[in-house]
Amino acid sequence: MTDLKKTSLGIELGSTRIKAVLIDENHVPVASGSYEWENSLVNGIWTYSLDEVHTGFRSCYADLCRDLKEKYGLRLTTVGAIGVSAMMHGYLPFDKDWRQLCEFRTWRNTITEKAAEKLTELFGFNIPQRWSVAHLYQAILNKEPHVKDVAFVTPLSGYIHNKLTGVYAIGAGEASGLFPVDSDKLDYDEKRVKQFRDLTGIDIRDVFPKVLCAGEVGGILTEEGARFIDPTGTLRPGIPVAPCEGDAGTGMVATNSIRVHTGNVSLGTSGFVMAVTDKQPGVHREIDMITTPDGLPVAMAHCNTCTGDINAWVNLFYEFCSLIGADIDKGEMFVRLFRKALDGDPDCGGLLSYNYLSGEGATGLNEGRPLFMRAPNAEFTLANFMRTHLYSALATLRFGMDILTGEENVKVEKLYGHGGFFKTPTVGQYMLSAAFNVPVSVTRTAGEGGPYGMALLAAYMLNKKDGESLPDYLDNRVFSGANSVTVSADKADVDGFNAFFERYKKAFETERKAAEVF
């Protein structure tokens, strides 16, 4: 690998990690970098400081440069194309001089209930609490002083994209997490733009970024942008930059799940299941309607918390191992505990868990409390304990999946999985297949996740032929020979998850009450 101008770089600012992936002309990852971080709860708001955004972004890139140098002896002076993605939604407002007006309010916050309900009713379209327009309207309802100075409201990817290029624009998939997008026109929905303007006096086209489609050039890396990403001055300006995207869109691309009737599931700090549809479903508070990066409608069920409680229990076990002098790698501990879950009873033997580290709009909770319960006569084994927590990570998504496949008759023939939940081979796939009763596939590149998907979008912009669609590019040039593993749960485990889920629903008031009193 010697021709850097044929490579594509994707960098994604995820919830717990910023990761960069460099791919060659054959779409094979050749180098990567990462930076660990975590959101903070400050004055009741889940947030990240922009100082850490800057530090983490640069540190991640520097880590990738070190990896490339060690593997190939190359200094990263240029690439063929760059793309940036990040966690979707949230609220990051600036004034006309790009001065930050309030803390970055991430997708995790459930503080916009009144705004989300009002806008859903007004638009006839589900507006979840985490969407940017809900945050903007809630700030208006709260009469927050900064609103009068708002000139720009962007998700995190749009902020970084602007720093790199000076262009205020985002990809269609990312835009669909700010405000409803018209899939035919690939722009904010005109009818609802007018409704919001009549309601608030604000034209969202004036404050939200411009919408771009996958394959368009989103801008060119400026001198200032090159220095922002690489303060050493090694990276040269002039590189084309793809429209930035959200982690939902990059997940679709990374798993080749952007054609109608395909779907993917991302399970990590948060979780979501997405199905590309050929129609607009009815309005359901549990279902978001977003788009693929090239504009097709996508029905998404989302949960704010997924693997966080699993991580907390594994950390507890790891602390115990340290206490007794047992030397074990934490990664190996995850693998062993996940595999142990396969030995559990199909219905978890009478155990029950709620993994809510924060509120969940899908189930109507503004705050969460992690909660574990067991019946006195339950089969309280390590295998059942671990299976319970894996099932719990999937349960909130099951509410949305039941609406999609049951009430709306959305057809899902296969799901593609990606994210940390699938890191232990086949275990996460099997549990998800039991929960949703569909085959689940994981490709060999699924572990690269969102930054790989963003690198593919950058490569598509760089290499596409006239008239070549994104789905065709992925099918024919990226995934035609891809290795994947497909797993289907047996009937006993599908029935077991159903029994667990019925118990989960019946006892849900316990979780609701815990959030009220503790």
CATH number, domain of 332, equals 3.30.420.40
Which candidate, 142, 163, 143, places its Cα nearest to that of 154? 163
Per DSSP, 306 falls in state S
What integer pLDDT is reported at residue 17 of this predicted model? 92
Tokens (6 digits) for 485: 């593993």
Q: Does 407 map to a domain?
A: yes
* Domain extent at residue 382: 308-445+485-517
Q: What is the arrangement of strands in the sheet containing 271-276, beginning at the earlier edge strand?
A: 288-291, 297-303, 271-276, 262-267, 414-418, 440-443, 484-487
Angle, CA 272 vertex, CA 268 and CA 275 arms, to 5°: 140
Ranges assigned E (strand) in 262-370? 262-267, 271-276, 288-291, 297-303, 351-354
User: What gap in Å lies between CA 4 and CA 255, rounded to an integer?
Assistant: 25
| Residue segments in the chain with a per-residue pLDDT below the cut of 70 | 1-2, 445-448
What integer pLDDT is reported at residue 281 of this predicted model? 81
Q: Please name the residues in contact with 7: beta carbons below 8 A apart, sequence gap of 6 or more.
A: 1, 22, 23, 24, 25, 30, 79, 80
Q: Does 10 map to a domain?
A: no
Q: Does 84 map to a domain?
A: no
Q: Does 59 map to a domain?
A: no
Q: Does 363 map to a domain?
A: yes
Domain count, the chain: 1
User: What gap in Å lies between CA 66 and CA 82, rounded to an integer?
Assistant: 18
- Largest Cα separation within the chain, whole Å, is 67
What integer pLDDT is reported at residue 141 of this predicted model? 98
Q: Does 150 map to a domain?
A: no
User: What gap in Å lies between CA 110 and CA 360, rounded to an integer?
Assistant: 7
What integer pLDDT is reported at residue 340 of this predicted model? 98
Tokens (6 digits) for 299: 């029905």
Tokens (6 digits) for 447: 């572990």
User: What gap in Å lies between CA 209 and CA 206, rounded to an integer?
Assistant: 8
Helix (H, G, I), strand (E, B) or coil at 240: strand
Q: Please name the residues in contact with 102: beta carbons below 8 A apart, sequence gap of 6 or more.
A: 91, 93, 139, 144, 146
Q: Does 209 map to a domain?
A: no
Q: Does 119 map to a domain?
A: no
DSSP-derived secondary structure for 43-70: TTEEE--HHHHHHHHHHHHHHHHHHHHH
What integer pLDDT is reported at residue 445 of this predicted model? 67
User: What gap in Å lies between CA 298 and CA 249, rounded to an integer?
Assistant: 10
What integer pLDDT is reported at residue 64 of this predicted model? 98
What integer pLDDT is reported at residue 155 of this predicted model? 97
Q: Residue 430: what residue type?
A: Y
H helical segments located in 324-381? 330-341
User: What gap in Å lies between CA 31 and CA 28, rounded to an integer?
Assistant: 9
